[in-house]
Amino acid sequence: MEEVKVVCRGMAVEFVKDAPTIASFSVAQNWDEQKTSSLRAAIQSVLSANPILTSCLETRKADNGQHEMVAMFHTFNLDELFKIIPNSSSNLPAEEKPLNDMDQQELLAYLDQKIIPQFPSHVGQQTRLGGEEVKDKSPVFEVQMMELPGQYVCYTVLLSHCIGDGAIYYQVMEQLNSAFTSSSGTIETKAINWDGYDKMDMPTVGPHLVPHPLTILGLFVIGPKVFKKFGPKEAEPYILLLSKKKINQKKIELVDHDNDSTTTTTTTREYLTSNDIVVSALCEAMLDDATVHTQAVNMRYKLDDLEPNDAGSYVLMSTLGAKEAAGNPNVVHKVNASGQSNMSPWKSFLSLSRGKVVCNTSWTGLKCVLDGTVAHFPSKGFLRTRFRSNGSSYATVIFEYDDEALGILATCPWKKGGLLESILLD
C-alpha cells in the first residue's frame, strides 16, 4: 500500500495553506449506545476505504524545485480520529425547553451558546488552517460527538481543505452514512478517486475556465490589499434561517416570463432555483458593503477531464454584479446558466479592486448527513478562520438546515427589508 501521496503542487500549495478546515455541526435524534457503536464501525470502514484520511501533511521540495504537499498515511488510528466529548451541561436548565420542543431558531441558539464552544476542535471558535495542519502535523479528518439531553447527539465532521473541497467533504459524509446504515457496515457508495489531484497541475484553476486577467488582478491581488487596509478588522459570522416555502413562492412570483432562456420538453416557461432567489436577496441586502459577488462553481461538471468523485479543490469563482442582480433572481439565473458574468472585465476589475466583494459558496446540492439528523449547518469557525487568515473579503455559505429551512452563514453586514427579509423563517 502506498504510504505517501502528493496532494497538491506549486501555486496550489500556497492556496490550500490559507484555506480553513471544512467543518459542520449536526444534531441527530433517537440516539443510543448501539448507534454510537455503529458510528464507530462506520468511521473505521471509511478510514479503511480511504487511507489518506489517516494522514498528516507536510510540504517538501520536489526534485524539479517545485514545492509539493504530501500526505503521510497511517499516522492516526480510529481512537485518535473519533472522539466522544463530555457534555459539561448534560442536564438542561429548568428554564430551558426540551430539545424536541425547540423550534429551529431556539435549537440553533442553544447549540451556538451552550454546546459548540465545548468542542475542542472549535476552541477559540476557529477551525485550523492548512498551514497550521502542516506545522502541527494535525489530522486531516476527524469526527467528534457529544451526547445531548433526550437521546440527542451533536456531531461534527472535519476535513482538511488541503485534500478536498466541499464536494469531497460531502462524499466522505455520504460514505460515512452508507456504512452507518448498512447492517454489515459496508460502504455502498461510489469510491472517491484520491488520484484526482494528478489531473491538473493547479487544482484551483482549470485550463479552459481561467478567469480574465483583470478579474484575477482585482480579486486576488488588489482587492484583498484594499480590504485589509480599509475593511473591518473583525467580522463575526452569523446564521440566518430561510423558509423553503417562502423561497418556492418567490420562484413563481419573480420568474421572468418574457425572457425565457431555459426550456424543458414539458414547458416553455423559465424556472428559477432556490440558489437564484437567495443570491439575489444577498446582493440586495449587502449592496452597501459589496458591489460584486463571486460564486464558487464546482468544475467537476464543467471539464471533460474531471469526474464528480475526483479529489482536490476544483473550484472556479465566477463574478456577479450585485446592483443588477439585487432583488432580480433572473439575472443570477442567466449568469449561472451561461457561465458568463453580467459585468465587463473592466467593470469587474474596478469593483473587485475596491475590495467590496462577497464570496458565495452553496452547499445545498451537496448535503449528506447521518440518518436521524434533524439539523445541519456549517461551523461558524469555518468563516471566522477564513476571515482572520487572509481578511481579503466577506463570505457566505448557503446550506440545507432541515426539511423546512435553508440557511445562510455570512460575515457581511446586511440591511433589513427587501427580498432577504421576505424569505426569513418565521
Domain of 30, in residue numbers? 4-199
Residues 255 and 357 in one domain: yes
Residues 191 and 261 in one domain: no
Residues 292 and 371 in one domain: yes
**Tens digits of residue pLDDT in 366-398:** 878 899 999 999 998 888 776 655 556 788 999
Number of domains in the chain: 2
Residues 189 and 224 in one domain: no
Residues 265 and 380 in one domain: yes
Q: Within 13 A of 414's CA, how many CA atoms are on the CB side? A: 27
What is the domain-level CATH number for residue 348? 3.30.559
258 or 96, higher pLDDT: 96
| 117 is a domain residue | yes
**Tens digits of residue pLDDT in 347-371:** 777 777 776 888 899 998 887 889 9
Cβ burial, residue 63 (10 Å; 0-12/13-18/19+): exposed
Closest CA to 313 of 328, 298, 325: 298
Q: Is 30 left (phi over 0), alpha (psi -120 to 50) or beta?
A: left
**Tens digits of residue pLDDT in 257-298:** 655 444 433 333 468 999 999 999 999 999 998 888 988 888
Last residue of a domain, one of 170, 199, 228: 199
Contact 334, 311 (CB under 8 A): no
| 86 is a domain residue | yes
| 206 is a domain residue | no
Q: Give CA angle at 47 (42, 51), nearest 5°.
A: 165
State residue 200's pLDDT score.
56
Residues 160 and 14 in one domain: yes
| 77 is a domain residue | yes
| 366 is a domain residue | yes
Contact 368, 177 (CB under 8 A): yes
pLDDT above 90 coverage of the chain, percent: 46
Q: Give CA angle at 277 (374, 103), nearest 5°.
A: 25
* Averaged confidence pLDDT in the chain: 84
Contact 135, 57 (CB under 8 A): no
Contact 155, 28 (CB under 8 A): yes
Residues 195 and 219 in one domain: no
State residue 397's pLDDT score.
95
Last residue of a domain, one of 171, 199, 227: 199
Last residue of a domain, one of 176, 199, 222: 199
| 208 is a domain residue | no
| 325 is a domain residue | yes
User: In three state form, how does the secondary structure of the chain look?
Assistant: CCCEEEEEECHHHHHHHCCECEEEEEEECCCCHHHHHHHHHHHHHHHHHCHHHHCEEEEEECCCCCEEEEEECCCCCHHHHEEECCCCCCCCCCCCCCHHHCCHHHHHHHHHHHHHHHCHHHHHHCCCEHHHHHHHCCCCEEEEEEEECCCEEEEEEEECCCCECHHHHHHHHHHHHHHHHCCCCCCCCCCCECCHHHHCCCCCCCCCCCCCHHHHHHHHHHHHHHHHHHCCCCCCCEEEEEEHHHHHHHHHHHCCCCCCCCCCCCCCCCCCCHHHHHHHHHHHHCCCCCCEEEEEEEHHHCCCCCCCCECECCEEEEEEEHHHHCCCHHHHHHHHHHCCCCCCHHHHHHHHHCCCEEEEEECCCCCCCCCCEEEEEECHHHHHHHHHHHCCCEEEEEEECCCCEEEEEECCCCCCCHHHHHCECC
What is the domain-level CATH number for residue 31? 3.30.559.10
Residues 344 and 266 in one domain: yes
